[in-house]
Amino acid sequence: MTEISSDVIRGCNDTIILYCLLSEPSYGYEISKMIKTKSEGKYIIKETTLYSAFSRMEKNGYVESYSGEAEGTGKKRTYYRITDEGRKYYSEKCEEWTLTKEVIERFIEENSNGNY
């Protein structure tokens, strides 16, 4: 059983996280759930990866954080909202992905049914 390549994902975590913020703000725990669900359990982002991506992207102006409350309980959470810069970055990342994917696939041989 093959697993996701964390070395490929590396270039895409920002994109994946920003995708989760496109329609509305969210917070760490929820985003990690979204990623798991959307990938049908195939990709489970590490907490440290996620939170360090948040701070990097906030520093770069792609997301903004604010403190909000959980519904029901008045417990605090840190929400993240994508900025205009972040949307721009996201769409550039999508283009970049498409181009990169096309290049890589020239070097991929599907089939190779164990013929080694």
Partner DNA sequence: TATATTTACTACGACAGATGTAGTACGACA
Partner DNA sequence: TGTCGTACTACATCTGTCGTAGTAAATATA
Binding site for a copy of itself (CB under 8 A): 2-12, 15-16, 19-20, 22, 38-39, 42-43, 84, 87-88, 90-101, 103-104, 106-110, 112, 114, 116
6 binds DNA (CB under 7 A): yes
Tell me: does residue 10 bind DNA (CB under 7 A).
yes
Q: To the nearest whole angstrom, how small is the minimum distance from the Cβ of residue 2 to a copy of itself?
A: 5
CA dist 71 and 7 (Å) reads 37
> Among residues 71 and 95, whose Cβ is nearest to a copy of itself?
95
The answer to whether the Cα torsion of 35, 37, 41, 42 is positive or negative is negative
**In the beta sheet, which residues pair with residue 77?**
68
- Residue 100 as a binder of DNA (CB under 7 A): the answer is no
Answer yes or no whether residue 46 interacts with DNA by CB under 7 A.
Answer: yes
- Region of 40-48, 81-89, 90-98, 99-107 interacting with DNA (CB under 7 A): 40-48
Torsion angle in degrees (nearest 10) through CA of 16, 6, 45, 21: -10
Helix spans in the chain (H): 6-9, 13-21, 28-38, 47-59, 84-105
Contact status, residue 18 vs residue 86, Cβ threshold 8 Å:
yes
Residues that bind DNA (CB under 7 A): 6-7, 9-11, 13, 27-30, 45-49, 51-54, 56, 70, 72-73, 75, 77-78
